[in-house]
Structure 1
Amino acid sequence: MSQPSINLHGAVDLSALARPPQSPSAPAGDATEAPVVVDVTEATFQQTVELSMRVPVVVEVSAAYAGGPSAVLDKVVTDLGGRVQLARVDVETSPQIAQAFQVQAVPTVVAIVRGQPVPLYQGDYPEEQLRAVIDELLRVAAQAGVTGTVSGSGAEEEPAAPEEPPLPPLHAEALDAIEREDYPAAADAYRRALKENPADHEASAALAQVELIIRTASSGGLQAITDAEGVAPTDVAAHLAAADAEIAAGRPQAAFDRLIAVVRATAGEDREEARKRIVEYFEIVGNADPAVADARRNLASALY
């Protein structure tokens, strides 16, 4: 892949996006408080053009469907310690910028020096060739008197994640038990948490999961599904074991269908046991799974 020829007379007209840059208020060689790597939109592009009067700006036009911004380019620019700013543009959210640079494919990388576009390359470049391209850009920028730097102090920092509140004591006790694989002790802690607060949905869901682990450890695992083949739905124990195995294997729809068939075919305590197990599965699988909404409707129909 040949290295592109760099000049200060690109064919791109930036006037559709930015006013003519103002004369810089600081000398072109001074440090500017700005991030080394920044995401640019049509609303902020004017600032990028104005910064190019003092610092060479590399503009990377990319798209998520094509792999997004280049980690290699990010590394090469960051290694320069602020001698170049990398302005990243998403072609899908800022199409006018891509149009102004006459972008035909992504990724496309151009530069701006003193408000003038400098075509660089298209596609993905290996690190060694990228460094050669940026070195040439710096040489050309220096000839144009653009030798400033960005300090990085204006970098956009992601907001700090909110500190998680401490776990309630019984939840912490349960997690400690889970870490040492003492599942009966974990179940006991969650039951005590529910006794203190029956509305503790986290404890309820966790208890259902722990009890599932305890049951499947002694039920033969996936073999329980095979053992239940051809067995009448009135054999509640066989189908409960098989449904546990299906839930543990990530097959909630099969487990729901199996136990709803048991509910339809049984009465009294057997029916109630199957119903309660389905409700436990709702806690384990979670309401976001579409299988849960279907199972709720089917269970109501089977019961009433």
Structure 2
Amino acid sequence: MDLSSLVSGGAPGGANGGGAPGGLIKDTSTAEFMTDVIEASKTQPVLVDFWAPWCGPCKQLGPLLEKAVQEAKGAVKLVKMNIDEHPSIPQQMGVQSIPAVFAFVDGRPVDGFMGALPESQIKEFIARLAGPSAEEAELEDVLASAQAALDEGDVAGAAEIFAAVLQEDRTNLAAIGGLTRCLVASGELDRARQTLALTPPGKEGDAVIAGARAVLELATQTADVGDIQTLAAQLESDPNDHQARFDLALALNARGDREDAVNHLVEIIRRKRDWNDEAARKQLVQFFEAWGPVDPMTIEARRKLSSVLFS
């Protein structure tokens, strides 16, 4: 929607130019719309609140909207337009009921809502529009560096970073999951369980937490299986010893030989799919949770599993 031709020829309105400190909130007119909204949105997201003095829901929404914008600390600006005094812009935009809020970015409307929303939804709308704050972006970089360290085998370095994040925010899921993985890698299973217990109620199903829990459960299972050479010898003497093959798969995965671990579990499924209540298939699913859905080994193992299940 191009409003520049309409705005450039508009008549001056009655905007008072006032607003919150720092210019985050102000009234506008048809004549000032180009400057206050179109041009301003090229450097910062701008919300436009179309309202009228007689509108009850507008009086309910207005203070909540202003409060949310102020709390966003400069992430967005708010421009208010009285549609009774300045009807041409809302008509151009097809506004048929108020309150109506439009979000402008780079000179164009990109999102919006109508009606009086609760405060929580207003904050979510602004957060979605503004994107991550500088502080949030910095935190994401810190967590990414910790994950990179863990991927490269620097377990101690990764654990130190994850722990530092948790000191600032004990509910950070990425830090909880990351530190849990570090502690498992260090063999500190009890501390890993304590760390995983920091997960906030209702967040147990989050992918990061589910993956860390799967890693911990795998480590716990592996502690009870036998020596790889012993298990391999048992399997050589009896290829249908599914328990030995199953335990060998766990031991191989713990050693980092994920491909052979997958192959043994798939072989159990090929030989006797329903063995031990489909334990091999369920174990593969646990591997997938621990490795993550986009891990190349997860993708390859899913392909192998499908080829057996649907052959």
TM range (shorter): 0.3 to 0.5
TM-score, normalization: structure 1?
0.39
More helix by share: 2
TM-score, normalization: structure 2?
0.38
Tell which has more relative contact order, 1 or 2 (C-alpha 8 A, sep 6+). Answer: 1
